[in-house]
Amino acid sequence: MISFSSSSICFIIFLSILLFDSVLLCNGGKTSIYVRKAEKTVEMPLNSDVFQIPPGCNAPQQVHITQGDHVGKAVIVSWVTPDEPGSKTVVYWSEKNCEVKKKAVGKVYTYKFYNYTSGFIHHCTIKNLEYDTKYYYVVGDRNSKRKFWFTTPPPVGPDVPYTFGIMGDLGQTYDSNITLTHYERNPRNGQAVLFVGDLSYADNHPNHDNVRWDTWARFVERSVAYQPWIWTTGNHEIDFAPELGEKKPFKPFTHRYHVPYRASQSTAPFWYSIKRASAYIIVLSSYSAYGKYTPQYQWLEEELPKVNRSETPWLIVLVHSPWYNSYNYHYMEGETMRVMYEPWFVEHKVDIVLAGHVHAYERSERISNVAYTIVNGKCRPTKDQSAPVYITIGDGGNIEGLANNMTEPQPEYSAYREASFGHAIFDIKNRTHARYSWHRNHDGYAVEADSMWFFNRFWHPVDESSQWG
């Protein structure tokens, strides 16, 4: 009979733990063992505190900011006044020089949607800001002034650290509130949000009740009034409702959310680009024409060669409908866009593609599927170190609930997938390394459930999976 000493037993247990860990960490397709109870998501009622109307006569509400130019020296400030237009002016000053108050004057818009009439929607671009500077700004007039602040990004440059938050398909349920709270409390401190589409889900209400556009904007104000969110359009922004006489797609979105599309020579607010710190961000539209000869196609074809990786090493693409998705929801919806644009992404070595739409989380290996020529039969995703990592993060927590039905077996290209709500952080350290982490809403806690070190495709195109040995 073999007998073990206590030290041998400890050693065996230690080896077992190591082995178990290596199985877990091995990059090669993991479906998370964590199964979030598939409870129904419930929208927060209209009288929730997060939707509260700020006090004061005609007080500005729904305050939000986004980048206002191509390089990060301008900010678009937007807000809504409910009763009358009021002041169109933003008063702002730098923390470094608070004696000098400056003013910028914006424009006011309104729109009607079926039986809804909007408040007065203000958009004001503040230009010629200093980089890396905290600014205070005030909107409103008389006794209803409201003060906020933001910090401009550092100058564009190859080794500038910068931290992006990533969220998608947020909606306005109790789960949405948890996701936003977890993002705000994340100690990695996201400095701007890359939002991959589907904002308010107002269109899930009778007559696309646009009051839900207002409540959503009041809900997220606590973050987006203080740091820019970079907007992508999803299917819930289309609001195409000919049965209601509403035949112009994207009407509420385009009135409420202005983006700096002209600064990147785009002809529509649905596809555009910005530079921010060491990142070049390209926003695409899954729901605008993207076939050959279309404006979006022509723009992207001209845009990709403009990216100078010596200036902005990190090339990030945002799109709503994922190209690689192994859930049984929206399966293949992104396929025709993939066929059109994937060869360009491989040619230009895109680092990461972020998508939403599927209400769950998934991260791919670096793969491409660009060899197919009709006759050669090569139509399988294959490992490709020039290809991006595809991340689906439509897990903000909206009213439609979780996507928890997955295709089986898990495809080889799928590195990690989990049917939970959450948010992610893309933390750029320098031109070669960025730390990515996805944080599951684990009831009251944000748990880092998936992470990887990204190696830049231009400066350090080494296989990241080798980090797991």
Instruction: Verify binding: residue 417, Fe ion, rule CB under 5 A.
Output: no
Residue 234 or 260 with smaller CB distance to Fe ion: 234
330 noted as active-site residue: yes
Q: Within a 10 A sphere around the Cβ of 33, how many other Cβ atoms?
A: 7
Mark the segment that binds Fe ion (CB under 5 A) among 67-75, 146-154, 234-242, 435-443. Answer: 234-242
Catalytic site residue from 122, 208, 236, 330 = 330
Q: What is the distance between the alpha carbons of residues 128 and 110, in angstroms, rounded to a whole number?
A: 28
Apex 222 CA angle, 239 and 88, nearest 5: 70
**Near Fe ion by CB under 5 A: residue from 171, 234, 252, 313:** 234
Cα–Cα distance for residue pair 200/210, rounded to 1 Å: 9
Residues with Cβ < 8 Å from 263, sequence gap 6 or more? Answer: 69, 70, 272, 274
| Stretch of residues binding Fe ion (CB under 5 A), selected from 94-102, 205-213, 229-237, 399-407 | 229-237
Q: Considering the complex, what minimum distance in angstroms separates the CB of residue 287 from Fe ion?
A: 9
Residues of this chain, 77-106, that bind Fe ion according to CB under 5 A: none
Of 315 and 419, which CB lies nearer to Fe ion in the complex structure?
419
Residue nearest to Fe ion (CB): 357
Cβ 245 to Fe ion shortest distance, Å: 24
Q: Which one of residues 198, 221, 237, 427 is an interface residue with Fe ion (CB under 5 A)? A: 198
Dihedral of CA atoms 349, 231, 175, 148 in degrees, nearest 10, equals 120
Closest approach of Fe ion to the CB of residue 463, in Å: 32
- Taking the C-alpha atoms of residue 370 and residue 32, their distance in angstroms, rounded to an integer, is 29
Q: Answer whether 151's CB lies under 8 Å from 191's CB.
A: yes
Element (H, E) at 88: none
Give the residue carrying structure tokens 């799928």. Answer: 414
Query: Contacts with Fe ion: how many residues (CB under 5 A)?
Result: 4
Q: Of the candidates 67, 81, 152, 235, which one interacts with Fe ion according to CB under 5 A?
A: 235
Q: Which is nearer to Fe ion, 184 or 333 (CB)?
A: 333
Instruction: Record the tokens describing residue 462, joined without a space.
Output: 């080494």
Task: Kindly state whether residue 357 participates in binding Fe ion, applying the rule CB under 5 A.
Answer: yes
The distance in angstroms from the start CA to the end CA of the chain is 37
Binding of residue 36 to Fe ion (CB under 5 A): no
Closest to Fe ion by CB, 86 or 168:
168
Residues in touch with Fe ion (CB under 5 A): 198, 234-235, 357
